[in-house]
């Protein structure tokens, strides 16, 4: 299995992150998810899941920043742009805006894709999992819940890193 994200000059296009236009923001958070291209899905894949994590955030926040966790995507060679807003059957979990260190109490932002807004250029780690079945997690699940399900259900996984401008 392989995954790819279209980059612009080696960076995530601005409309998905810190420099997103106002119409792609909520509470000043970029909310439009980027498309993900998938190839060589293994036979028996019944659903997809993903994590998007900023490990460069550790010196800034004290922990890796979860930007997006989602599961139970329909099997396809493309996770389309803006699917975080459109839904289409996927189930989304809590991002790091659910932290006690953040003064934001909007479940639309917390249980959703939230694009990169790094203080300087950061690397982001995207992992897509091919699953043998849907996880049936409830909306608002936590990363550890997803990872426990993935441990027993993943047929394959692919990880890439990309940068976003600070």
Q: Catalogue all structural domains in the chain, each as residue range(s) with its CATH number.
A: 2-164 (3.90.280.10)
Write the CB contacts of 111 (distance below 8 Å, at least 6 apart in sequence).
92, 93, 94, 95, 139, 140
User: Exposed, middle or buried, 119 (CB in 10 Å: 0-12/13-18/19+)?
Assistant: exposed
Phi, psi at 23, each rounded to 5°: -70, -10
Looking at residue 100, its pLDDT comes to 81
Residues 6+ apart with CB under 8 A from 54: 64, 65, 67, 116, 118, 122, 123, 124, 125
Residue 126 pLDDT class (50, 70, 90 cuts): very high
Sheet of 2-4: strand order equals: 2-4, 36-39, 78-79
As a three-state string, the secondary structure of 52-114 is EEEHHHHHHHCCCEEEEEEEEECCCCEECCCHHHHCCCCEECCCHHHCCCCCCCCHHHHCCCC
> Could you tell me the two tokens for 32?
């439009």
Q: What is the pLDDT of residues 15-46, one digit of tens each?
A: 999 999 999 999 999 999 999 999 999 999 99
What pLDDT shows up at residue 102?
A: 81
**What pLDDT score was predicted for residue 96?**
96
Q: What pTM did the predictor assign? A: 0.96
End-to-end CA distance of the chain: 30
Please tell me the predicted confidence (pLDDT) of residue 120.
Answer: 95
Tokens of 59: 């010196």
């Amino acid at each position: 299995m392989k995954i790819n994200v279209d980059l612009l000059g080696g960076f995530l296009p601005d409309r998905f992150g810190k420099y997103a236009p106002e119409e792609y923001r909520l509470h000043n958070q970029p909310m439009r998810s980027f498309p993900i291209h998938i190839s060589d899905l293994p036979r028996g894949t019944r659903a997809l899941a993903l994590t998007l994590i900023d490990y460069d955030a550790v010196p800034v926040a004290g922990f890796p920043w979860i930007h997006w966790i989602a599961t139970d995507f329909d099997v396809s060679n493309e996770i389309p742009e803006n699917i975080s807003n459109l839904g289409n059957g996927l189930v989304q979990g809590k991002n790091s805006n659910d932290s006690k260190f953040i003064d934001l109490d909007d479940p639309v932002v917390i249980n959703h894709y939230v694009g990169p807004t790094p203080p300087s250029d950061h690397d982001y780690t995207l992992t897509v999992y091919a699953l043998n079945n849907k996880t049936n997690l409830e909306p608002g699940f936590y990363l550890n819940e997803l990872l426990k399900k993935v441990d027993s259900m993943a047929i394959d996984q692919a990880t890439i890193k990309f940068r976003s401008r600070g």
